[in-house]
Amino acid sequence: MDIADPELPTPCLPWRLEPRVLWLTAGAVLLYGALAAFANRAHGDAAMLRSALVQGLSCGVTTFGLSTLIDRGIAWQVRRRWPRRSSGAFAALAAMALGAGLHVAANLWAGTPELVATVALPLLALSLYCPLYAAIALKRCP
């Protein structure tokens, strides 16, 4: 099956960027950056600002990148006639593993003082967001 196959509806095509992904990304940057600043407020302004920037950028990259990864992964798997449930599960699990690794690695690299408090809520949200986003992406595909 060719990538430009007219049988595939537009939401299943891998190169289409949905505007909601940009809104979700902006919300993640603001929300989790503010949460990281709050969690690290006792360690001074420099540590608070550094952890807020690192966590905000980390969440922005993961939200945008993983949403795109899930969309493209499911589209690729649907084109190759993978079973629907395994397509969504595989895409969601791969996205969760990559996102968790990025969050922890970025904050370790930056020397975030309150690592557990900084990454706990984003990792919880990631574990909920990826399967839900994959389920929604699967519903858009035939």
Please write the tens of the pLDDT for every residue from 43-102. 889 989 998 899 889 888 888 888 888 888 888 887 777 777 777 888 889 999 999 998
Reading phi first (left if > 0) and then psi (alpha if -120 to 50, else beta), residue 8 is in beta
7 in a domain, yes or no? no
81 in a domain, yes or no? yes
Whole-number Å distance between alpha carbons of 71 and 77: 10
Burial class of residue 50 in the structure, from the number of CB atoms within 10 Å of its CB (0-12 exposed, 13-18 middle, 19+ buried): buried
6 in a domain, yes or no? no
Q: Quick check: 135 pLDDT over 50? A: yes
Domain count, the chain: 1
The amino acid sitting at 122 is P
16 in a domain, yes or no? no
| pLDDT computed for residue 6 by the predictor | 47
134 in a domain, yes or no? yes
14 in a domain, yes or no? no
50 in a domain, yes or no? yes
15 in a domain, yes or no? no
For residue 38, give its domain range.
23-140
Task: List Cβ neighbours of 121 (8 Å cut-off, separation of 6 or more).
Answer: 32, 35
